[in-house]
């Protein structure tokens, strides 16, 4: 048993993208940073569709040709319930899905960058408590079965969707069922993929309150998965049933073989109302920063992490770790993400009610036009003259 207290400037809990990028940015300022991860290997097991925007790699400073890139996409295809396909080119889809990555390698690369910048890393290190003592934060960590106490000026809660650290610090992180999607995904081999396009199948006929994705990772290989809104799961039904049904009914997929199964929860909520407190910053999924419409969270996590790193550097420089000193983080990440998340949250709420017939009409109306050639306003006019009832059903959303 080690009774000594380990003192650091910044303790980052969780070595997902949010934690590693925050640790890297803080360590680049020359501070004493400790990044801890409860799993024995960073990034493993993967629980992710691995679709990311073009912007992401540039934002985190990773080369687009790295080993963590599995394939580059030309765009995305949206498939409506009756099979109508809307093809979106890179200028429209790129901000959402530009690459399919190797998440394990991606997470490990970010952690290595943190280490190269000077952060210490402990794996098999599980944070189990949080308290404030004498103006600092104290966290007990079970590291390789040994209990250790770490005292930090600033603790970063980057512990993902199932986050406990913020809750220990007294912050309400609870979610309503309608604000959670339960996801399952298979890696499949021997299927018909469209190697240059990600595909999204939307509509209740595929899955209630969510969508099915197919993100290609090479000829005949793809991540095929879905998210179901937890409020729409009937009885004890589990999302696997919907995925198996989708695959069984679709000859492109039913001939394939499953080589991996993974899954997990994502929040499809608004972000936490407060993401800073005395000695504490909350980043990424732990702060409920996942996009509520797409379920994608890596970009938002990394964007917020960069803002967190910048704020940590300034606070340590000033020697002030109070809530007020950490508040610039709150302003900075909200500036870029908050409006978009609020708009997509409204869209998600609406999508939970929209019928398959309406989705068919929307997709077919948009598919008739080249989105490059038509403005959103013109598109809406066209939609309302062709299907006035759709505009009524969607109310103010469009």
Query: Which positions lie near ligand FAD, rule CB under 6 A?
Result: 13-19, 36-39, 47-52, 126-127, 158-161, 183, 185, 225, 263-264, 266, 284-286, 290, 296-299, 301
Cβ-proximal residues to 179 (8 Å cutoff; 6+ apart), any chain: 267, 268, 269, 270, 292
Q: How far is the CB of 355 from ligand FAD (least distance, A)?
A: 26
Q: How far is the CB of 133 from ligand FAD (least distance, A)?
A: 19
Determine the Cα angle at 205 with ends 201 and 75, to 5°.
5
Nearer to ligand FAD, 158 or 359 (CB): 158
Beta bridge partners of 142: 126, 147
Nearer to ligand FAD, 152 or 298 (CB): 298
Q: Give residue for tokens 């899954």.
A: 263
Going by DSSP bridges, is the β-strand pair 120-123/33-37 parallel, antiparallel, or unpaired? parallel
Nearer to ligand FAD, 13 or 365 (CB): 13
d(CA 154, CA 170): 16
DSSP helix, strand, coil percent of the chain (3-state; round to 5): 35, 30, 35
Structure-block tokens of residue 369:
């036009």
Structure-block tokens of residue 115:
């280490």
Q: How far is the CB of 323 from ligand FAD (least distance, A)?
A: 21
Q: How far is the CB of 395 from ligand FAD (least distance, A)?
A: 29
Q: How far is the CB of 240 from ligand FAD (least distance, A)?
A: 12
Nearer to ligand FAD, 36 or 390 (CB): 36
d(CA 201, CA 84): 10
Nearer to ligand FAD, 17 or 271 (CB): 17
Cβ-proximal residues to 282 (8 Å cutoff; 6+ apart), any chain: 156, 157, 158, 163, 165, 166, 171, 272, 275, 276
Nearer to ligand FAD, 37 or 360 (CB): 37
Q: How far is the CB of 14 from ligand FAD (least distance, A)?
A: 3
């Amino acid at each position: 048993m080690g009774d000594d207290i380990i003192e650091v400037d910044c303790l980052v809990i969780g070595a997902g993208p949010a934690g590693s990028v925050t640790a890297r940015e803080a360590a680049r300022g020359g501070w004493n940073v400790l990044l801890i991860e409860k799993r024995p290997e960073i990034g493993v097991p993967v629980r992710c569709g691995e679709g990311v925007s073009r912007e992401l790699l540039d934002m985190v400073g990773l080369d687009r040709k790295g080993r963590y890139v599995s394939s580059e996409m030309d765009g995305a295809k949206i498939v409506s319930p009756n099979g109508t396909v809307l093809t979106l080119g890179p200028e429209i889809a790129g901000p959402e899905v530009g690459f399919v990555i190797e998440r394990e390698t991606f997470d490990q690369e970010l952690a290595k960058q943190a280490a190269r910048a000077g952060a210490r890393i402990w794996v098999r290190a599980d944070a189990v408590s949080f308290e404030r003592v004498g103006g600092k934060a104290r966290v007990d960590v079970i590291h390789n079965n040994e209990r250790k106490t770490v005292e930090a000026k600033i603790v970063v809660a980057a512990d993902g969707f199932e986050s406990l650290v913020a809750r220990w610090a007294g912050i309400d992180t609870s979610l309503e069922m309608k604000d959670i999607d339960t996801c399952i995904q298979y890696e499949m081999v021997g299927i018909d993929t469209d190697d240059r396009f990600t595909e999204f199948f939307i509509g209740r006929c595929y899955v209630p309150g969510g969508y099915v994705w197919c993100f290609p990772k090479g000829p005949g290989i793809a991540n095929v998965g879905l998210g179901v809104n937890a409020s729409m799961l009937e009885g004890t039904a589990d999302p696997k049933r919907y995925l198996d049904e989708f695959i069984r009914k679709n000859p492109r997929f039913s001939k394939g073989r499953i080589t991996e199964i993974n899954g997990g929860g994502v929040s499809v909520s608004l972000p936490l109302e407060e993401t800073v407190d005395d000695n504490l910053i909350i980043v990424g999924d732990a702060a409920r920063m996942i996009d509520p419409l797409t379920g994608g969270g890596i970009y938002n996590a990394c964007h917020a992490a960069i803002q967190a790193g910048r704020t940590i550097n300034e606070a340590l420089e000033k020697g002030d770790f109070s809530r007020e000193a950490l508040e610039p983080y709150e302003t900075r990440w909200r500036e870029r993400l908050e409006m978009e998340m609020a708009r997509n949250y409204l869209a998600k709420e609406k999508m939970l009610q929209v019928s398959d017939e309406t989705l068919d009409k929307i997709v077919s109306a948009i598919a008739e036009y080249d989105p490059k050639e038509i403005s959103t306003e013109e598109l809406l006019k066209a939609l309302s003259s062709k299907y006035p009832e759709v505009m009524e059903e969607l109310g103010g959303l469009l």
